[in-house]
Structure formats: structure tokens, C-alpha cells
Structure 1
């Protein structure tokens, strides 16, 4: 696949920017990233188990995207797509814990050349080195107590006169989850795709406690940045993918790829507004470039949704493409999907592979130990057995009517009423994969579905 040299793209991009007349100081930018947060668990998106006053307050001040999706449902490829504006097959970060190509142009590099100081604190990207993404400042400490100190100190002692692009990535609500939670496990509502067992409820309560803690820090960060940055401040809140529960993270179901996205800019972005425009994480890079006064490089997969933010459009994408290429040896599984306004089509190239993950292979008491109860329940309960069978084994094709089946429980593949839709979406997906240069690489030796003794939990 041909890639434009980053230096050439940047030169052309800056030449365009340099011609602009009487440009004013660009707005400061803050991007706040959650880690493994499903949008459905927030009251803003219909969740009922917890209160999130800071997230709700942010939404009251800006635009909430009802249909924002990541490029890939695991940490490294998702964040690489955000910071390059390219899908995984094009930027090079395909499986989890991989990295984009060195010569791919990255968002901090562009913002630096636009005149921004760039700083990243916490889990913003997976790195080989601190200079890989070209941030001026980078601190890897990602726990909230640490971020309270590092970000506050940075803003209070900062002397740089340039506008600031600040990226803050918390570890919440990524595992390990805390041993204690203020949330009563018996009072929560479990998503329909999960089995209702006592330990599942305990772990969900711990996960939700981390969401509450994240919300508290979001409020603190807004107060801090409002105090130290300019009034013209863009604040973006989102998550890299869904939660680490079965049928969420590492999957292309909406529980894995549908994420919260809120954008605030006083006086520019309408307040207390919701939009059904479909956007992808690859669209954030070109949007921020335009907000910063620059011109987007032409070779990106992402497209700016600034017209949606400014109220000039209520649509953006007609199709959302998402890919998953595994998570080292814990999840050797490939999936590709296309999502429209109504339908989701998922292509699993290797249905003979067993789907596994950190959840079922490690069974840690700080995350997935509830899977022991799932396995035991499946020995005597037909529904539980079917859920486990669906977790470990996926058919080659999956098709869901998202209007009638938002939790993607009923596969419509080969249904006479939807076979034409299935064929059309598969053709569109294959064409897009060819355009991307997607080689569908299997990065590690898989565990096979017909050899269950090879994927028993690890001790």
C-alpha cells in the first residue's frame, strides 16, 4: 500500500495554512479519554444504574453524538486511528499492542506545526517511545490520583504562550476493578447479553464504581482547564471502546464499538444538543485540525464533522466500517463490519477459531472471575449454554436489524426477507477492505473451536 511521506503531506498542509489572512489565536483544545467505557452504561445514553453529573453537565454545554463509533474495539488500534485519521490496515496498528507506521502523519505533529503546544497525560496512546506521537510533553501515569497531580502541576506552572492541545487519558474503567464499590450489586440492571450470576453483579458494580470515579475527575478537569486556559476552549470527551465484558470489548457488536462522544466549544457549538449523525473516531483528527484553523490532508480516511458541530448539518456518514484483528495470543480472532443507519453486517473470516479473551482465559478476581459461574451454569442451563457457545463460536456472517434488535441477539443471515441486504452489505464491505489493503492477517496461532481442551482457563 502506498503511503504519502509525512513530510510531504505536512508541507502541502502548512502551505495552505500559511496563506490564511489575519488568523486569530486558535482555541485551546482538551481531549479527555476514558478507557473501556460502554456508552450504554451512562445515563446520557439510557443507563440507569449510576449518576454521572459531570458527564451530564458537559452534555448540557455542547453536542452529544448518539452514534459515535471507534475504528477498532481494542485500545492500541483504536487510539492509533484517533491520532492518525486512518483505519488500522492503513496506519499499521491492527492487532492490540501494535503501533502505527513511523512515517504516518500524526495529530500532535500537525497541531505542533499549526502553532500549538501539545501535551499528553495518562493513557492517550500505546507507545514504543515518548517521541513516537510527537507530543511536546508526555507523562504515562494514568491513575486518577496521579493525573490530579501531574495535570494540575503542568497547567499551574506552564509558561508557554502558544494555544494548548491537552490530551488526558484515564485508566478508568479498565480492569483491574477496585475491591470495593458503593453500588449495590443486587440493584443494578445487567445488559441482556450477560448471564445473571452473583459474581457478574459484583464485578459490574466494581466497573460502575470506576465510571463514577471517572465522572468525578472529569468535573475536576473541566474546572481546572476553565481556570487556566482561554475562554475559547474546545473540550472533547469520549472512550476508546466498550467495556471488558463478553460481547463488548474485542467485538464488533455495538456494545464494543459504540462510544460516548461530547464536544463543547462555547459560542461556537450549540449547547444541550443531541445529534444522530454517524461519526467515527477517525473523524476526530480532521475535525480538530479544522477547529485549529488548518487544512486536512487529503489522504485520510477521516472526514471533519465540524458542520455537524456548528449546526449546519445533521448527517455525516452513511456507513461505519470497523475492524478487529486480535489481542496477541489472548484473542486470536478477526472480524470486520459495516454498519448503516439500520443494519449491522459482521464478517468473521475464521469461524473455526475459538473466540477467547482475557476474560475467560485469566479469570482474575479483579475482573473476569464471574466466568467460572457462567461455565458452571452452562452445564445445567440451556440459555447459559447457548450464551457460552455464542461467546466462543461466531458464524462466518452475522446480520442484525438494529431498529428491532438493538442488542444484536438475533442473527438474520440467510433470512429470506433480508438476504438482499446481506448480499449488498457484504459486497460493500469486501470492496472497502480491498481499498484499505486489508490482508486479514492472522498474527498468532489460533485456538480452534473444535479443540476445547486447548482454550481452558489459564492458571
Structure 2
């Protein structure tokens, strides 16, 4: 700027003051940053903010105290790859292609990486990277720092590169921090914190010494997860970004214990979500609004000021975050295809916040999972076999193990009265009309999705790179 221009500007400012006019810069609307911290195989009922009694999850609880806790968020398929693909694409598994674990998505899709980039965001990911290929579908900036391999024996991490990513420019960002805890092999964390004999076991488990020993290892990794959440929230405060950053905690699907992950009971499908948005989301609140992972990307687009993306299965729940609505969707849907984790065993489900219908599409077959039920690898995870060994002399153990292996065509539960889904109401005369209604809605959804049911759970040829 020349001297003459400076003098001219000074005269304008002085004249404005004489005239009593306020000369202030126009406020610039800044879009919020977003950090999404996602667990791996978390039994969300172990979080103390969700009623867990075995440990105090201090840092996740702190987010709940400062934000909104969702009581009804569900994974549509209770396994890692489909859940993450649904999170990123806003599509249900049949439509994004990862409807079996480790099956790739269709390479013609777009994801949150495209949608937020179009709205001016940098979109990054650190940690578990199971759903980041192909790059054309998932154009994340990969940030080093967190362990990408979920079966690694360690979970070593550092925050230097995360710090660089979130402070590099003033451009808004969305960063996915994908922890590998508490995924097997349960080899990290301080197990001395827990007394195996004093643990409160889930009601759908069999109490054996092996189960308690394994549960100790699992809870030690839940503690590690909580510590990682604390590290990230501290980093935001240290860098001064906590005031304009939305922090979302996600629990993914249930744990690798019998009847949870790789199933459509709530211990597999039911998740957790806490959203802290300073100045916008009311602190110490919770909601019974029904949401699914497919709804998260549409919500992020809505938060960023974008228009709804045509063709997505998910819907924005921003009105719930803003306290303008107590509902988001009427039903949550579930799909399970057992290959390659076991024999063909397709399952479908539909639920609202109380009732749940499950259809086992091949009820004449027995359910089998190779990670927990392979007798030739009994040393790999012996929880299941400790249950089997107890079943001949324990009617409850026999009932629980039989329930996992041999299932009826229809299961129907009142999840308010029976949260562990141990009492099947499928033949109860008082529920027959509701069962018919739910089944019709589920079959309509399957048709809309292009879901062929049992015919979908087959071995597919691997796509050449």
C-alpha cells in the first residue's frame, strides 16, 4: 500500500469516527472442525456413561458430560469393514458392496472424503485403515500416528502428526481417529487394574474362569481406548481448537465374544455415540432418537452447510443435535452374511427403540464362527469351549450355547423388558400383528436395497488388483 493510500484510508476512518459510524470488520463465519474417534469391537455397555460397572471410562464420560449421548445407535452389520464402509459412504452394506467382512466396496462410489472436500474441508484418517481403498472412493489424507493393523500385538501411537494435521492451516478439517482397541488379541493395557473374581459379567455369558480371564484382558484394552480419547481431547485444548471442534465418539460394533460381533443381537449391533459441540449441543443431555452409522455422513454434510446428497440411505440427524427434534428415523435395519467368518448363515433384522424382529434365513443350518468355535484351534480363543464344556452339567450353559448354534426362523424381542434378548416372543399371540408388520417393513427394505437374502451369502471371486 502506497503512502497516499494509507493517508486516504486514515482520513476515511477518521471521518467515520466523526460521523459516529462503527468501523469493524465483518464477521467471518467459520465452519466447525470435526474429530471422530472410533473404537474397534467395543461392548458399549462397559462404558460407565452407558451404565457399565467394571471400570470408570473417565474421558469418554467427560465427553458425555459436555455433550449429547445417543442411547439408540446401531451398526447395520456387526463387523468392522461393513460398519466403516457404511459410516463413510452413507449407504447400507448391500448398496456399498461390503456386505461380507473384508469384501471391498464398489469402486464407483463416493464417500465422506469427497462430500466434505467439496465443502472446503480437509479430510484425514489415522489408525485402522480397513476401509480406505480404493483411493478413488476413500480420498482420505492418511495421517500417521495410530496403529493401522487391528490385530497388531501393540497399539503404540504418537500425536505429533495429528497435531500437524489439525494446526497446518485455517481450513476446516474432519479427522477420523480409528483406534484398534479393544479388538483382539487383547495384548495391551494394564490387567492388574481388574480383579477377575469381582467382574460383573454380561447376562448372556456363562461364568467360567477362562471367560473371566479373557474379560480382564478385554477391559484393559477398553481402558487404553479411554486413555486415547483423553489424549485427543487434551491435544485440542493445547492447540486452542477445542472451542470450534466437534468431537464425536463412536463405539463401532460389539466385542469378539460368543453371540456378539458377527450377530444381530443387540450385544453385536448396538453401539454408542457421544457428540460434544461447544456452544451448540447442550451439555449433559441424552437422546433416544434412533440412528445408524449410515446417518453420520449425511449429518456431517449438513453441519458443513451442504445440501443433502441424493441417493444415500442415511439421513441427517442434525435437528437432534440442535435440540429441535427427539426423533431421527422410525426403524433401524440389520444384515449379517457369515462368509468368510464361517458357514453361510444369513440373518436380517428390523427394530425400533423397543421391539426387534430377527429373521434367520437358513434356520435348518447351525451357526458357526471360525474365530471362536473352531475346535482345531481351541487355544486361539477358548471362551466358547469353556462354555461348551460346562453345558452338560449346567442347564443355563446349555441354553446359552444352544441359542448360539441352533436358531429359529423368527426371533422377536421386547428389548426394554429383555435387553439381553433371552426370551423369544415369536410365538406369543399378543405380538403376532406387530411381527407381521415388522416383517413386511423388513422385506420391503430388502427389496429396495436389492438384497436377495440367503442367496447373497456365498463365496465371491476376489477382484484382481
TM-score range, shorter chain: 0.7 to 0.9
Report how far residue 225 of structure 1 moved. 2.6
The separation in 1 between residues aligned to 2:49 and 2:374, in whole angstroms, is 33
Across the aligned residues of Structure 1 and Structure 2, the Cα RMSD in angstroms comes to: 2.3
The separation in 2 between residues aligned to 1:365 and 1:228, in whole angstroms, is 48
Query: Is residue 119–residue 136 contact of structure 1 (8 Å, CA) maintained in 2?
Result: yes
The separation in 2 between residues aligned to 1:198 and 1:49, in whole angstroms, is 17
Question: Corresponding residue for 1:174?
Answer: 183
Question: Corresponding residue for 1:141?
Answer: 147
Report how far residue 146 of structure 1 moved. 5.8
Residues 273/66 of structure 1: CA separation in 2 closer, same or farther (3 Å cut)? same
- Of 262, 270, 273, which residue of structure 2 is paired with 1:258? 270
The separation in 1 between residues aligned to 2:263 and 2:404, in whole angstroms, is 10
Residues 309/189 of structure 1: CA separation in 2 closer, same or farther (3 Å cut)? same
2:385 counterpart of 1:375? no
Question: Corresponding residue for 2:457?
Answer: 442
Residues 352/152 of structure 1: CA separation in 2 closer, same or farther (3 Å cut)? farther
The separation in 2 between residues aligned to 1:146 and 1:406, in whole angstroms, is 32
The separation in 1 between residues aligned to 2:375 and 2:37, in whole angstroms, is 30
Question: Structure 1-normalised TM-score?
Answer: 0.87
Query: Is residue 84–residue 107 contact of structure 1 (8 Å, CA) maintained in 2?
Result: yes
Structure 1: give runs of 5+ residues left out of the alignment: 1-21, 446-459
The separation in 2 between residues aligned to 1:274 and 1:328, in whole angstroms, is 37
Report how far residue 129 of structure 1 moved. 4.5
The separation in 1 between residues aligned to 2:105 and 2:55, in whole angstroms, is 36
Report how far residue 381 of structure 1 moved. 2.3
The separation in 2 between residues aligned to 1:237 and 1:293, in whole angstroms, is 22
Report how far residue 203 of structure 1 moved. 0.6
Question: Corresponding residue for 1:418?
Answer: 431
Measured against aligned partners, the alpha-carbon deviations of 1:86-113 in whole angstroms (never above 9, x if no partner) come to 1011111101111221111200111112
Question: Corresponding residue for 1:152?
Answer: 160
Question: Corresponding residue for 1:44?
Answer: 49
Query: Is residue 37–residue 249 contact of structure 2 (8 Å, CA) maintained in 1?
Result: yes
Equivalent residue of 2:71, what SS?
strand
Question: Corresponding residue for 1:307?
Answer: 319
Question: Corresponding residue for 2:71?
Answer: 66
Query: Is residue 247–residue 256 contact of structure 1 (8 Å, CA) maintained in 2?
Result: yes
2:218 counterpart of 1:213? no
Query: Is residue 296–residue 316 contact of structure 2 (8 Å, CA) maintained in 1?
Result: yes
Question: Corresponding residue for 1:385?
Answer: 398
Moved over 6 A (4+): 362-367
Equivalent residue of 1:379, what SS?
helix
Report how far residue 223 of structure 1 moved. 0.9
Aligned length: 424
Question: Corresponding residue for 1:190?
Answer: 201
The separation in 1 between residues aligned to 2:380 and 2:111, in whole angstroms, is 33
Equivalent residue of 2:325, what SS?
coil
Residues 329/56 of structure 1: CA separation in 2 closer, same or farther (3 Å cut)? closer
The separation in 2 between residues aligned to 1:145 and 1:224, in whole angstroms, is 22
2:126 counterpart of 1:121? yes
Report how far residue 317 of structure 1 moved. 1.6
Report how far residue 153 of structure 1 moved. 2.5
Equivalent residue of 2:235, what SS?
helix
The separation in 2 between residues aligned to 1:419 and 1:186, in whole angstroms, is 43
Query: Is residue 90–residue 313 contact of structure 2 (8 Å, CA) maintained in 1?
Result: yes
Query: Is residue 347–residue 398 contact of structure 1 (8 Å, CA) maintained in 2?
Result: yes
Further displaced range: 29-38 or 107-116: 107-116
1:260-409, aligned counterparts within 5 Å?
260-330=272-342, 332-357=344-369, 358-361=371-374, 368-409=381-422
Report how far residue 228 of structure 1 moved. 3.0
Question: Corresponding residue for 1:165?
Answer: 174
Residues 364/198 of structure 1: CA separation in 2 closer, same or farther (3 Å cut)? farther
Residues 364/178 of structure 1: CA separation in 2 closer, same or farther (3 Å cut)? farther
Residues 306/71 of structure 1: CA separation in 2 closer, same or farther (3 Å cut)? same
Residues 429/314 of structure 1: CA separation in 2 closer, same or farther (3 Å cut)? same
Query: Is residue 363–residue 369 contact of structure 1 (8 Å, CA) maintained in 2?
Result: no
The separation in 2 between residues aligned to 1:364 and 1:192, in whole angstroms, is 26
Query: Is residue 33–residue 124 contact of structure 1 (8 Å, CA) maintained in 2?
Result: no
Equivalent residue of 1:427, what SS?
helix
The separation in 1 between residues aligned to 2:134 and 2:250, in whole angstroms, is 24
The separation in 1 between residues aligned to 2:218 and 2:155, in whole angstroms, is 20
Report how far residue 439 of structure 1 moved. 1.5
Equivalent residue of 1:177, what SS?
coil
Residues 72/380 of structure 1: CA separation in 2 closer, same or farther (3 Å cut)? same
Question: Corresponding residue for 2:4?
Answer: none
Report how far residue 169 of structure 1 moved. 0.6
